[in-house]
């Protein structure tokens, strides 16, 4: 059951508009997986969340009274983010753990926004959020497909074939496409308006087409999962299944044609070919969209589901069986014995970035990355190596020099970065939120329940991807997921009675200011580092030194300001200061091979002290023995030969 929320309607509408803006910002301009991606967006989310809590304390909007499981989940999320901050104490790269703390706080703000929206927008919170999310995801998918028609629209659009923008990563874009399919079906089936029906057809069509062009195997599997979930839970499953078929078949046809054009689906194609085929793709995509709209509007799906339900169910099941049979037959024809083929494929390394990868089962290096994460966890079982440090920690145990930010598995990421404590906290959050979503679907009724089922597809798709990928790094997918989770666990719950007065308001404002400082100081410090390098290149050395020192004061955990200051000291002919700064970097992160390499190269190339160069470079080699920087006859080998020839004794004698 749903009830109107206490508060003022204008405040609820203002919240909805602000939330829509934040979601559009996150999805369209989320900044990919960059560490600083959450700086300004996260600050805006924190400010909005604080405004929502203040409005709740003043009685302007409703706040939810959560049940015990949802309360455990929210508390677990807070403790998990706090743990990422505390891990700075033992982190092998404190600056990265600080960035992880900032991003985690931004994610908590999005979760709070969802909680506030779920209560404040009642009794239409699920419908309002579903409409906003369908619009945002539809816009993102349309923009992504436009990039296939116009290669110059995105960076690398003329070189990289797999669809990935505006999110920046094909699997993350596929996750959004997965979530868009049930939202499109909700628009087409549940919202009783001709315009909504046409919009739903477009969303489903665009989601299927974009999903195909991401060439994401996990995306295709998760898409099938969320579609099956929606069909199982929806009260309009027969009508929805028929409309999914009507809107999806044109997308399959256009996508099938695209896979016959190497310029559209393979890397390295000639730009002229990609432009020419892009024009044809645009025309066919528009034609396919028109066909999807006409089919969805003209075929009486509701009447067929009502009058010929059993027959329609048999037809849909038969169609699904035919598609599965065709797929299996094609697989056998292509690879022979599918069982033997699967065993051979699963042990593979890196997959070729081409359409044929869709029929491969190679783990794309994931087995090695997962093994590295497990080794890091076994070596640091209690608290890991510090939040966001997997990239550095794995260098000591990796067998090849392939760079990778995360192990491509959120559970293993938690184990490696924050140990068993972080993993258990993550499990508490997942279980608590999952129970909260299930309870929300059960307690809501009518149109609100239909919208909740459609919204639940996003966290379901996120969970599926999280097992084999790193969606947690992308604000574009994590922020909407957390908003949806918060809204779901709050929907249909009684309103809370928060403490009122100046104290809770002041506390919310002060907490928001502190969190925004955590988010912005690394960004401000990096801006000063970049400015110091520009001034150094312009030979404005005193100003460069001031900028580097300011960056160090803003972010004392970061290596970049220290290294920038060392470069300035070199340019100012202050070798002792430069050496001290390079050594300071190694003291800040002694288990990171990067500062040891930088110090070693400075001693080798600038100071020509081969004894000290060998000491630093050998430390770097110990921390990263399989890195690609080690070449036969390189500085490490030269320094080692010199040490064996007595360079250290000569240095001591001259000293």
- For residue 424 the two structure tokens come to 């258990």
Length of the chain: 655
Which letter does DSSP use for residue 152 in this model?
G
Q: What is the CA radius of gyration of the chain?
A: 27
Share of the chain above pLDDT 90, in %: 68
Rounded to whole angstroms, the Cα distance separating 478 from 486 reads: 12
pLDDT in tens, 494-515: 888 776 778 888 888 999 999 9
Q: Are 169 and 218 in contact (CB under 8 A)?
A: no
Residue 602 confidence (pLDDT) above 90: yes
User: What's the CA dihedral at 150, 154, 156, 162 to 10 degrees?
Assistant: -70
Q: Where are the domains of the chain?
A: 13-490
- The pLDDT, as a whole number, for residue 155 is 75
Q: Are 116 and 5 in contact (CB under 8 A)?
A: no
In 93-174, DSSP assigns E strands to: none
In 451-589, DSSP assigns E strands to: none
Residues 6+ apart with CB under 8 A from 181: 203, 204, 207, 208, 223, 226, 227, 230, 244, 457
Residue 69: other Cβ atoms inside 10 A: 18
Mean pLDDT of 578-594: 97
Mean pLDDT of 450-475: 95
pTM: 0.92
Burial of 233 (0-12, 13-18, 19+ CB in 10 A): middle
Q: Are 586 and 599 in contact (CB under 8 A)?
A: yes
Backbone angles phi, psi at 64, to 5 degrees: -85, 150
- For residue 555 the two structure tokens come to 């972010």
Mean pLDDT of 458-487: 96
- For residue 159 the two structure tokens come to 């070189």
Residue 263 confidence (pLDDT) above 50: yes
Mean pLDDT of 339-362: 55
- The pLDDT, as a whole number, for residue 219 is 92
Rounded to whole angstroms, the Cα distance separating 511 from 133 reads: 28
Higher pLDDT, 397 or 9: 397
Q: Are 460 and 441 in contact (CB under 8 A)?
A: no
Of the listed ranges 217-231, 500-514, 584-598, the least confidently predicted one is 500-514
Residue 654 confidence (pLDDT) above 70: no
Residue 348 confidence (pLDDT) above 80: no
Of the listed ranges 12-16, 27-31, 499-503, 581-585, the least confidently predicted one is 499-503
Cα 398 to Cα 376, 402, 404, distances in angstroms: 10, 9, 11
Residue 119 confidence (pLDDT) above 70: yes
Mean pLDDT of 147-159: 79
- The pLDDT, as a whole number, for residue 235 is 81
User: What's the CA dihedral at 218, 220, 221, 222 to 10 degrees?
Assistant: 80
Q: Are 642 and 611 in contact (CB under 8 A)?
A: yes
Residue 314 confidence (pLDDT) above 80: no
Q: Give the DSSP H/E element, type plus range, for residue 400.
A: none
Nearest in space to 200 (alpha carbons), one of 244, 250, 255, 136: 244
- The pLDDT, as a whole number, for residue 334 is 46
- The pLDDT, as a whole number, for residue 640 is 94
Describe the crossing of helices 68-86 and 475-490 by its angle, rounded to 10 degrees.
150
Mean pLDDT of 175-198: 92
H helical segments located in 269-388: 271-298, 301-307, 309-335, 338-346, 366-379
Residues 6+ apart with CB under 8 A from 544: 532, 533, 535, 536, 564, 568, 571
Residue 425 half-sphere exposure toward CB, CA atoms < 13 A: 22
Q: Are 94 and 388 in contact (CB under 8 A)?
A: no
Tell me how many degrees the CA angle 409-338-216 measures, rounded to the nearest 5: 35
pLDDT tier at 335, thresholds 50, 70, 90: very low
- The pLDDT, as a whole number, for residue 1 is 47
Helix (H, G, I), strand (E, B) or coil at 164: coil
Share of the chain above pLDDT 70, in %: 88
Nearest in space to 482 (alpha carbons), one of 49, 4, 159, 7: 49
Residue 621 confidence (pLDDT) above 70: yes
345-349: long-range contacts (C-beta < 8 A, 24 or more apart)? none
Rounded to whole angstroms, the Cα distance separating 646 from 655 reads: 14
Tell me how many degrees the CA angle 190-196-200 measures, rounded to the nearest 5: 80
Cα 499 to Cα 51, 58, 91, 120, 507, distances in angstroms: 15, 9, 38, 17, 12
- For residue 602 the two structure tokens come to 């400075």
DSSP annotation string for 65-93 = ---HHHHHHHHHHHHHHHHHHHGGGT-SS
**Residue 64: beta bridge partners?**
495
Rounded to whole angstroms, the Cα distance separating 83 from 424 reads: 12
């Amino acid at each position: 059951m749903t009830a109107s929320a206490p508060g003022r309607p204008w405040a609820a509408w203002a919240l909805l508009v602000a939330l829509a803006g934040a979601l559009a910002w996150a999805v369209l301009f989320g900044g990919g997986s960059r560490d600083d991606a959450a700086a300004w967006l996260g600050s805006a989310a924190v400010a909005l969340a604080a405004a929502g809590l203040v409005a709740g304390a003043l009685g302007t909007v409703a706040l939810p009274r959560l049940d015990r499981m949802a309360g455990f989940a929210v508390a677990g999320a807070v403790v998990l983010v706090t743990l990422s901050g505390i891990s700075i104490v033992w982190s092998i790269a404190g600056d990265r753990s600080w960035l992880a703390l900032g991003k985690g706080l931004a994610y908590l703000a999005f979760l709070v926004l969802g909680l506030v929206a779920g209560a404040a927008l009642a009794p239409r919170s699920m419908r309002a959020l579903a409409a906003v999310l369908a619009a945002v995801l539809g816009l993102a998918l349309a923009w992504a497909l436009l990039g296939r028609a116009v290669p110059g629209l995105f960076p690398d659009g003329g070189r990289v074939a797999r669809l990935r923008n505006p999110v920046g990563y094909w699997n993350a874009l596929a996750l959004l496409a997965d979530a868009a399919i049930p939202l499109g079906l909700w628009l087409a089936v549940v919202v009783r308006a001709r315009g909504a029906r046409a919009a739903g057809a477009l969303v489903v069509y665009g989601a299927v087409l974009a999903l195909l062009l991401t060439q994401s195997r996990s995306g295709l599997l998760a898409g099938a999962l969320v579609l099956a979930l929606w069909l199982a839970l929806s009260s309009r499953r027969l009508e929805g299944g028929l409309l999914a078929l009507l809107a999806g078949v044109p997308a399959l046809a256009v996508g099938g044609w695209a896979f016959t054009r190497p310029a559209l689906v393979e890397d390295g194609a000639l730009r002229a070919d990609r432009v020419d085929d892009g024009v044809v793709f645009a025309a066919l995509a528009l034609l396919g969209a028109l066909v999807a709209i006409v089919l969805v509007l003209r075929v009486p799906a509701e009447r067929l589901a009502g009058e010929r339900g059993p027959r329609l169910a048999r037809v849909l099941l038969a169609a699904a069986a035919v598609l599965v049979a065709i797929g299996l037959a094609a697989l056998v024809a292509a690879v022979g014995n599918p069982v033997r083929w699967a065993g051979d494929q699963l042990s593979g390394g890196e997959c070729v970035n081409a359409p044929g990868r869709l029929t491969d089962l190679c783990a794309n290096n994931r087995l090695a990355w997962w093994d590295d994460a497990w080794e890091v966890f076994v070596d640091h079982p209690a608290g890991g190596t510090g939040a966001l440090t997997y990239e550095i920690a794995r260098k000591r145990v990796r067998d090849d020099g392939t760079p990778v930010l995360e192990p491509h598995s959120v559970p293993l990421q938690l184990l490696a970065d924050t140990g068993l404590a972080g993993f258990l906290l993550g499990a508490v959050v997942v279980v608590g939120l999952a129970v909260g979503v299930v309870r929300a679907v059960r307690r809501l009724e009518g149109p609100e329940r239909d919208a909740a089922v459609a919204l639940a597809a996003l966290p379901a798709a996120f969970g599926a991807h999280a097992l084999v990928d790193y969606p947690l790094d992308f604000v574009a997918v994590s922020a909407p997921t957390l908003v949806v989770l918060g809204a779901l666990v709050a929907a249909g719950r009684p309103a809370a009675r928060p403490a009122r007065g100046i104290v809770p308001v002041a506390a919310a404002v002060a907490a928001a200011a502190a969190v925004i400082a955590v988010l912005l100081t690394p960004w401000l410090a990096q801006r000063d580092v970049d400015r110091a390098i520009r001034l150094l290149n312009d030979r404005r050395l005193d100003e460069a030194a001031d900028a580097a020192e300011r960056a160090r004061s803003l972010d004392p955990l970061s290596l970049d300001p220290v290294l920038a200051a060392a470069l300035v000291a070199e340019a100012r002919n202050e070798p002792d200061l430069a050496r001290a700064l390079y050594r300071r970097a190694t003291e800040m992160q002694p288990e990171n091979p990067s500062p040891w390499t930088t110090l070693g190269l400075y001693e080798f190339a600038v100071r020509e002290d081969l004894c000290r160069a060998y000491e630093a470079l050998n430390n770097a080699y110990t921390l990263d023995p399989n890195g690609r920087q080690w070449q036969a006859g390189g500085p490490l080998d030269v320094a080692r030969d010199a040490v064996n020839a007595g360079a250290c004794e000569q240095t001591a004698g001259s000293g």
